[in-house]
Amino acid sequence: NAGVTQTPKFQVLKTGQSMTLQCAQDMNHNSMYWYRQDPGMGLRLIYYSASEGTTDKGEVPNGYNVSRLNKREFSLRLESAAPSQTSVYFCASSATAGVSRTIFGQGTRLTVV
């Protein structure tokens, strides 16, 4: 099925460990995004990539890095995980701004202990 695929779906990390969340879309979308969702906070933008080869910070970028590997893939890396990064992470993609709708993946539930 076409859409946004995130891996893994669940992950438990120890404080200080690193990991990369993977995201791929097969809709030929130009833009991709990483959001985090915390209880009572809605979703907040971490980083986004307007097009292949570009990345920009969102509202809450500290502690994260991203890579737009190609048009399909956009990864999010936690270099040294902290308990404050316990959250549900959503990857999303969109086509041309103004006419598209953003499509979300199913999320990755990350717990940092």
Q: State the residues that interact with another protein by CB under 8 A.
A: 30-31, 33, 35, 40-45, 48-51, 54, 56, 58, 90, 92, 94, 96-102, 104-107
In the complex with another protein, which residue's Cβ is closer, 14 or 39? Answer: 39
**58 or 63: whose CB is closer to another protein?**
58
Report, in Å, the least distance between residue 86 CB and another protein.
16
Nearest C-alpha neighbor of 11 from the set 76, 92, 104, 102:
76
Q: Give the distance, in angstroms, between the CA of residue 81 and the centroid of all CA atoms in the same chain.
A: 15
CA 15 to centroid of chain Cα atoms: 20
Least distance in angstroms from the C-beta of 95 to another protein: 9
Q: Which is nearer to another protein, 17 or 109 (CB)?
A: 109
* Amino acid, res. 96: T
Q: Are 105 and 1 in contact (CB under 8 A)?
A: no
